[in-house]
Amino acid sequence: MREVAILGTGMTKFGELWDRSFREIGIEAGFQSLVDSKLSSHDLGALYLGNMASGAFLEQEHIAPLILDYAGLAGHHLPAIRVEAGGASGALALHEGYLAVASGAYDFVAVGGAEKMTDVSDTEASRIVDATADTEWELVFGATLPSLWAMVARKHMHEYGTHREDLAALPAHDHLMASKNPLAHFRNKVSVDQVVNSGMVADPLGLLDCAPLSDGAAAVVLGPMETARKYTDTPIRIAASQVACDTMALHHRRDLTTLDSTVFAAKRAFSQARRKPADIQVAEIDDAYSIAGLVALEDLGFVAKGEGGAAMRDGRFFGKGTTLINASGGLKAQGRPFGAVGVAQVVELVRQLRGEAKERQVSGAQVGLAHNVGGTGATSAVTILERAN
């Protein structure tokens, strides 16, 4: 396996992009990533596209060749491959692209993530994303994605004495970071009080504990590390790309407050990169729900099990300590176009590691980690990036 570098990044604004179509945003992010590197589209060997549910959202399946076509590349007859893993679709597309370059199958690949979620009503969109949990044995009985996460939260509060305010600290941090991110869905600041008092979705989670439904796309181009400097002055090395899976339904997990998929993906990733949590300066963690971000800190190994609440309360990862989480604003405030999330996280990390993150730049960031979850944790992906010096 050879080393793989990220050569370019692209990303659209996230939000309710009513005036823009799926193909428009997909192509915008893709071309940005090509232009950002010195690659031409002729160099590409394949396209990997993370997308959760274009069929349900847009009545359009088979979208990988669609994006390829509208990117003007149909005539190159490249393979274009859609990857689906619920909310982790983007990260899994990146994983596939990484493997393809690492194995030598292709030299250069484009990896995109795109989702268009606001062409259907909120109710319909919620129904579609709920289906990343187990339809037959969870949803049929009245469960929704937030209600399942709410039960993780309740259990965590019961087991470890986590407070409601501990959960609310993360959305408040996310919104503060997103206020410095021009591409973010939400740029308003919110207080812990506002989160705690937001309209109830599934007790104890309120509306402001939950990431929004967004439109958006993100893309990166990958190539072998050995020739990376021909295409960019600041190649970012993929030090690890790992995916792990677990039971589909929350009720079948070994422990209700631990995502073993995250634990295993993280262990493998830290081992592959020969790094430990303390080496990470910037981390984009999956905070689709405030509780998801809290347990992610534990499952990734940043804090011990049960200490996530205290870490949030003390703001240990909000700029005081070694690691800053969700410089982008996270899923909560940068936005959550499902299939695009995993790629967008990596775009943010690359910009941080290159020192291009402007107002929200974490100074001297050398190593970054991205963590992306599908459903209630049936899939997790952990990616570690390093600035190549």
Partner 1 sequence: MAIARFWRETPRRYNLGGSRCTVCASVYFPPRTVCPTCSTHRQSIGKMEPLQLSGEGEVVSYTLVHEAAVGFEMQVPYVLALVKTTEGPLLTGQVVNVLPDEMRVGLKVRATFRKLREEGPAGVIHYGYKFAPRDDLEPGPRPGRNAEATPVHSSDASRARA
Q: Kindly state whether residue 127 participates in binding partner 1, applying the rule CB under 8 A.
A: yes
Distance of CA 105 to the CA centre of its chain: 26
What single letter denotes the amino acid at residue 267?
Answer: K
Count of residues that bind partner 1 according to CB under 8 A: 35
Q: Kindly state whether residue 364 participates in binding partner 1, applying the rule CB under 8 A.
A: no
- Considering only 199, 359, 364, 389, the residue that binds partner 1 (CB under 8 A) is 199
Q: What track of x and - describes contact with partner 1 for positions 233 through 272 (by CB under 8 A)?
A: ----------------xxxx---x----------------
Nearer to partner 1, 116 or 154 (CB): 154
CA dihedral 65, 67, 68, 73 (to 10 degrees): 140
**Smallest distance from the beta carbon of 58 to partner 1, in angstroms?**
19
Q: How far is CA 155 from CA 171, 256, 308, 341, in A?
A: 20, 7, 13, 27
Q: Kindly state whether residue 152 participates in binding partner 1, applying the rule CB under 8 A.
A: yes
Residue 363 neighbours by CB under 8 Å, 6+ apart: none
Residue 296 neighbours by CB under 8 Å, 6+ apart: 259, 262, 285, 286, 287, 371, 373
- Residue 268: which of 305, 303, 300 has the closest Cα? 300
**Smallest distance from the beta carbon of 207 to partner 1, in angstroms?**
8
Q: Kindly state whether residue 154 participates in binding partner 1, applying the rule CB under 8 A.
A: yes
**Smallest distance from the beta carbon of 192 to partner 1, in angstroms?**
20
- Considering only 104, 137, 193, 271, the residue that binds partner 1 (CB under 8 A) is 137
- Considering only 117, 202, 357, 378, the residue that binds partner 1 (CB under 8 A) is 202
32: three-class secondary structure by DSSP: helix
**Smallest distance from the beta carbon of 134 to partner 1, in angstroms?**
8
Q: What is the sign, positive or negative, of the torsion defined by CA atoms of 207, 59, 372, 156?
A: positive
User: Of 2-10, 148-156, 180-188, 314-322, which segment contacts partner 1 by CB under 8 A?
Assistant: 148-156
Q: Kindly state whether residue 115 participates in binding partner 1, applying the rule CB under 8 A.
A: no
The burial of 182, by beta-carbon neighbours within 10 Å (0-12 exposed, 13-18 middle, 19 or more buried), is given as: exposed
**Smallest distance from the beta carbon of 150 to partner 1, in angstroms?**
4
Nearer to partner 1, 11 or 249 (CB): 249
Any alpha helices (H) in 105-257, and if so which ranges? 122-130, 145-160, 164-178, 192-196
Pairing mode, strands 379-387 and 236-245: antiparallel
- Considering only 28, 130, 174, 209, the residue that binds partner 1 (CB under 8 A) is 130
**Smallest distance from the beta carbon of 254 to partner 1, in angstroms?**
11
Largest pairwise CA distance in the chain: 59
User: Of 33-41, 61-69, 143-151, 353-361, which segment contacts partner 1 by CB under 8 A?
Assistant: 143-151
Q: What counts of helices (H) and strands (E) characterise the chain? A: 13, 12
Cβ-based neighbour number of residue 257 at 10 Å: 24
Nearer to partner 1, 121 or 389 (CB): 121
Nearer to partner 1, 22 or 289 (CB): 289
Residues that bind partner 1 (CB under 8 A): 123, 126-127, 130, 136-144, 146-148, 150-155, 158, 199-205, 249-252, 256
